[in-house]
Amino acid sequence: MSGAIGPHRVLSVAGLTTSFRSNRQWRPVVSDLSFHLDQRETLAIVGESGSGKSMTALSLMGLVTAANGRVEGEAVLNGRDLLKLFEPEMRKVRGNELAMIFQEPMTSLNPVMRIGAQIAESLHYHRGADWGAARIEALRLLDLVRIPDSGRRLDDYPHQFSGGMRQRVMIAMALACRPKLLIADEPTTALDVTVQAEILELMKELQREQGMALLFITHDMGVVAEIADRVLVMWRGNKVEEAPVRELFAAPQANYTRALIGAVPRLGAMRGEANPRRFTVIDPIDGRSVATEAETPPVTDTAPLLEVAQLTTRYPITSGILGQVSARVHAVENVSFSLRRGETLALVGESGCGKSTAGRTILRLIEPTSGVIRFDGQDIARLDQHQLKAIRPKLQMIFQDPYASLDPRQPVGRAITEPMRVHGMATAADAMDRAAAALVKVGLDPAMAQRLPHEFSGGQRQRIAIARALALGPKLIVADEAVSALDVSVKAQILNLMLDLQSEFGLSYLFISHDMAVVERFSHRVAVMYMGEIVEIGPRRAVIGNPQHPYTRRLLDAVPIADPSVRRRMRSRLAGQELPSPIRPPGYTPPERIWRTVDEGHFVQDVA
């Protein structure tokens, strides 16, 4: 356990206030924040977007721009107040005693510099090591972060590494000068769950070996439960609660913390329940319960609304002047499933597994290579443009980024009415009424219809996107990571809304997601995708409660659980494992798959 509190205080922060000037006014983004960190200790700062958690990190690093930013207070690291240091001195501290890892491993490495040189640079600069010695040390660091075949990879460029590997390189760089304090700002947010689990495990182990203090900034309560010793909860620039991790999860004091924890689904909490369950939503200010948990009614229809059979989508990769097909990406390979009215089927898997392509192919936003998509008695894959247009209103989609899915120059009212007008479903006045009704349905004020998308918050935009889909009277909604970009509490509200709409209108959802905990809470059935194929499909209770395919097990095992009392023992897989890519030579025929029936409706692909 890494929680043994060391005798040495590494960092003590008192009265940290960071403000930015806008419109000739100083507005604080972090107000009067105080905390401390000891050797070998991990403090997690948790909060939603705009809570000031990242600003805290940037303030400590001295990276707040002096032009319009101001940092006040005190932050003592090893007896020196970081906030009083001048830039040349601060530069010696940064990367040396104090190091930072950022969220995007893709953008925080210099793309034109070999990684060995990038790591060595810091050693050369701070420790005056000559390049030869620095290079040997860089090699040792790559071994430390468990990069396989480190000797050969030292001279590779960042683009030759996968996301998880790049984050390992970032960690190696941060650890180069054996910092006393490592600040990690959402270091695993951009990574897949299995990779996230590896990186978290690596960071825990490195902390044990090196004895540094870790300031871990995240929005993910699951990750907090996994890694933190103590937790500091931030809300709108203020500290609302600070407590040891077990206490915080067991008995949260502040209303906001209760709201946050109430909104987080815990994988495994739904054991034995067949139907989705609504989320508790607590008002962060007065602590009243705004929505309560409730199980949703079961699905009664038996006839399938959507039947997908042997669906295959491949992209050719061409090369040469003549554009010959040199390989094919088997993005979706022989996928079959069915979906009933009022039912939610979750399509889960990691990035690149083909789940989004499958969803878009069903809507014919991407053309299928072969297969049948039978919806409401018609084969969508064989419809011509005219027939397709007629069926479009019944099949709608909600996208991950609601800002990207709304035309930035179109007022939201028009965004909702335009599809109705195009389909001749309503006259101009009628369409406005229906748009207003749809906005009310998703919990927005119809008076907002004149505004542009950028005037709304992320959660409100997603509500608009739902209203727009809803206004057409759909039967099936493909939700592609529809809540992944939202803050925890907003996520719970949107999921509740979607559940309510489902029971009211009998909607079917194809819920595409990488988040197993949300999937467990939200869906009736689950299909696990791996390298373009479904490897396991069945009732949610069966697939999550009794996973049969090794990949499903690996996926479930990697999900951080928002409960520190079930923190798992060290995992065996520390060394990075790369996800294989589904790129095949042109003549490739996929092997015949054999399916095994586990239980009623629960099928698993036999591993060859």
Partner 1 sequence: MSIEAVAAVRPADRAGRPMDAFRSNKLAALGLLLLASIMALAALAPLISWHDPAIQDVVHKLGRPSLSHIFGTDEFGRDIWARTIFGARVSLMIGFASTALAVLIGSCIGILAGWYGGRLDTFVMQVMDVLLAFPSLILGMIVVAMLGPSVSNIVLAIALTSIPPFARIARAPTIAIKSRDFVDACRSFGFSTPRILLGHVLPNIVAEILVMAALWLANAIRTEASLAFVGLGLKPPIATWGGMIREGFDNILDNPWLALVPGTAVLVVIFALNLLGDGLRDAVDPRLKDAT
396 is a contact residue toward partner 1 (CB under 8 A): yes
Binding pattern to partner 1, positions 20-49, x when CB under 8 A? x-xx---x-x-------------------x
Under DSSP, the state recorded for 118 is H
Choice between 474 and 564, CB closer to partner 1: 474
Among 327, 452, 583, 598, binds partner 1 (CB under 8 A): 452
407 is a contact residue toward partner 1 (CB under 8 A): yes
246 is a contact residue toward partner 1 (CB under 8 A): no
Find out whether 270 and 293 touch, Cβ atoms under 8 Å.
no
> Could you tell me which stretch among 2-10, 157-165, 222-230, 399-407 binds partner 1 (CB under 8 A)?
399-407
Non-local CB neighbours of 427 within 8 Å, separated by 6+ positions:
none
Helix, strand, or coil (residue 460): helix
Contact positions with partner 1 (CB under 8 A) in 325-384:
360, 363, 365
Tokens read off for 100: 């930072």
Tell me how many residues contact partner 1 (CB under 8 A): 47
> Could you tell me which stretch among 5-13, 340-348, 390-398, 549-557 binds partner 1 (CB under 8 A)?
390-398
55 is a contact residue toward partner 1 (CB under 8 A): yes
318 is a contact residue toward partner 1 (CB under 8 A): no
Q: How far is the CB of 428 from partner 1 (least distance, A)?
A: 16
CA torsion angle for 527, 559, 192, 460 (degrees, to 10)?
80
The count of other CB atoms within 10 Å of the CB of residue 568 is: 11
454 is a contact residue toward partner 1 (CB under 8 A): yes
Find out whether 173 and 121 touch, Cβ atoms under 8 Å.
no
CA distance 252 to 224: 14
SS (H, E, C) 505-528: HCCEEEEEECCHHHHHHHCCEEEE
End-to-end CA distance of the chain: 39
CA distance 561 to 270: 13
Among 179, 368, 371, 393, binds partner 1 (CB under 8 A): 393
418 is a contact residue toward partner 1 (CB under 8 A): yes
- In this structure, which amino acid lies at residue 558? A
Q: How far is the CB of 404 from partner 1 (least distance, A)?
A: 4
- In this structure, which amino acid lies at residue 460? Q
Residue 115's Cβ-count burial label (10 Å; 0-12, 13-18, 19+) is buried
| HSE-up (13 A, CA, CB side) for residue 525 | 22
Find out whether 555 and 350 touch, Cβ atoms under 8 Å.
yes
Beta bridge partners of 316: 328
- In this structure, which amino acid lies at residue 203? M
105 is a contact residue toward partner 1 (CB under 8 A): no
Q: How far is the CB of 292 from partner 1 (least distance, A)?
A: 29
Among 42, 54, 150, 502, binds partner 1 (CB under 8 A): 54
Among 109, 245, 397, 534, binds partner 1 (CB under 8 A): 397
Choice between 51 and 167, CB closer to partner 1: 51
Among 395, 476, 492, 537, binds partner 1 (CB under 8 A): 395
Among 117, 317, 388, 437, binds partner 1 (CB under 8 A): 388
DSSP codes joined into one string, 24-76: TEEEEEEEEEEEEEETT-EEEEE--TTSSHHHHHHHHHT-S-TTTEEEEEEEE
CA distance 267 to 259: 18
Non-local CB neighbours of 585 within 8 Å, separated by 6+ positions:
327, 328
Choice between 103 and 369, CB closer to partner 1: 103
Contact positions with partner 1 (CB under 8 A) in 462-501:
465, 468, 472
Choice between 147 and 420, CB closer to partner 1: 420
531 is a contact residue toward partner 1 (CB under 8 A): no
Q: How far is the CB of 365 from partner 1 (least distance, A)?
A: 5
Integer-rounded Cα radius of gyration of the chain: 26
> Could you tell me which stretch among 198-206, 340-348, 387-395, 562-570 binds partner 1 (CB under 8 A)?
387-395
Among 216, 337, 399, 551, binds partner 1 (CB under 8 A): 399
Tokens read off for 527: 């299909």
Choice between 24 and 288, CB closer to partner 1: 24
186 is a contact residue toward partner 1 (CB under 8 A): yes
Helix, strand, or coil (residue 108): coil
The count of other CB atoms within 10 Å of the CB of residue 125 is: 16
Q: How far is the CB of 64 from partner 1 (least distance, A)?
A: 9
Among 127, 392, 567, 573, binds partner 1 (CB under 8 A): 392
- Contact residues for partner 1, defined by CB under 8 A: 20, 22-23, 27, 29, 49-55, 58, 103, 185-186, 360, 363, 365, 388-390, 392-393, 395-397, 399-401, 404-410, 418-419, 422-423, 452, 454-455, 465, 468, 472
